[in-house]
Amino acid sequence: MAKIYCLIVFVIGLNLQAQNVIPLDSVIQYEGQTVTICAKVQGTFKTKNNTIMLNFGKPYPEQTFTVVIFAQNLTNFSYVPETFLKNKEICVTGKVKLYKGSPEIIVKKEEEIQLK
């Protein structure tokens, strides 16, 4: 089991290195592209319908970028994202989308977020 875990961590690490790591302040320029962003989670928020927002750059409502985790995907996490990830440096890999003019990545599973 330990060998399988090490292999998975190694493959994920290679995948992160293969992705296009971009600076936080230019994420809006990568709409529609799959990228990796590494930054500190400045704030978190849980909506009434249990959607989690992880804000980067500045706290809401002046955030530079947001990671969104919808309620139906929270079962794919072994931790509570809005508390565990707050103020942590993380790397997120996914497709950049614009929501009301602001860039975001929708995360569906824990493996898409790596602690830095």
What are the distances in angstroms from CA 25 to CA 58, 60, 74, 83, 100?
11, 15, 28, 24, 17
Q: What residue numbers bound the domain in which 111 lies? A: 2-115
45-93 confidence digits (pLDDT tens): 999 999 999 999 998 899 999 999 999 999 999 999 999 999 999 999 9
Mapping DSSP to helix (H, G, I), strand (E, B) and coil, where does residue 17 land?
helix
Please state the rounded mean pLDDT for residues 89-105.
97
Q: Please give the tally of structural domains in the chain.
A: 1
For the question of whether the overall pTM of this predicted structure is more than 0.85, the answer is no
Residue 1: pLDDT above 70? Answer: no
**What CATH number is attached to the domain comprising 75?**
2.40.50.140
Structure tokens at 64: 């530079």
pLDDT digits (tens, 9 = 90+) for 10-31: 555 545 444 689 999 999 999 9
